[in-house]
Amino acid sequence: MLMRIDILTVVPELLESPLGYSIVKRARDKGLVEIYVHNLREYGKGRYRQVDDYSFGGDAGMVMMIEPVFTLMEKLKAERHYDEIIFTSPDGEPLTQQVANELSCMENLMILCGHYKGIDHRIREHLVTREITVGDYVLSGGELPAAIITDAVVRLLPGALGDETSALSDSFQDGLLAPPVYTRPAEFNGWKVPDVLLSGDPKKIAAWQDEQALERTKRLRPGMLATSE
């Protein structure tokens, strides 16, 4: 199944680098995913392609207008069905590994990047199907969160990683943080790799990794264990 992701933004330049390198680029080159970045300014009002306006009520800051978003969304929805239309919002549901897993099983995703003070709330009420945040803080726009969501999803597609089992051992996949990893040399500056990893015994190594994953989670992210219980 070929995944397609359409990203709607007023600053497409912010997405060029995150989507043009590394795993996401390789997945695109392999034909595993198609990613299209759409410039909302092309659908803006009037001679100057206006996409923002003052807020009703007199609050400070400009607000993304509904017309350009609606026009572009309707154009895209006329061409295909979207499993989710996502808005990157500070007050959305947190992006977790479980959310990324779920989205990776879908065929067509649309991501709307917020900007300015926010977007006309009618867009959220009538056009968006899901709102996702990457953290409890405010950014200048939703482009970086859109890139993060895309990266988290695309790397899970079969064939995106050189070793498809690699994603299975990532942090959060099993509700725990990942155990420590090491590479050559086995000793550097007096710092040694744990002996068990050099033992060649798969059972002992697996037991050590499970133990380390649990210990690190208890120490660094105890809330994850409370949530899973």
The answer to whether the CB of 8 falls within 8 A of the CB of 40 is: yes
What is the extent of the structural domain holding 66?
3-154
What is the CATH classification number for the domain harbouring 212? 1.10.1270.20
Does residue 44 form part of some domain?
Answer: yes
Q: Cα-flanking dihedrals φ and ψ of residue 38, to 5°? A: -110, 130
Q: Which of 164, 160, 167 is nearest to 30 (CA)?
A: 160
pTM of the model: 0.88
Residues 23 and 121 grouped into a single domain = yes
Does residue 160 form part of some domain?
Answer: no
Res 35: pLDDT: 98
Residues 74 and 123 grouped into a single domain = yes
Quote the Cα angle for 96-83-35, to 5°: 80
Residues 97 and 130 grouped into a single domain = yes
Res 61: pLDDT: 87
The answer to whether the CB of 85 falls within 8 A of the CB of 123 is: no
Residues 105 and 68 grouped into a single domain = yes
Res 20: pLDDT: 96
Number of domains, the chain? 2
Residues 180 and 131 grouped into a single domain = no
Which tokens sit at 26?
Answer: 């390789």
Query: What's the N-to-C CA distance of the chain in angstroms?
Result: 35
Walking along the chain (229 residues) 10 residues at a time, the average pLDDT comes out as: 96 96 96 98 91 88 94 98 96 96 98 92 97 94 97 96 61 80 96 97 97 96 78
Which tokens sit at 141?
Answer: 């726009």
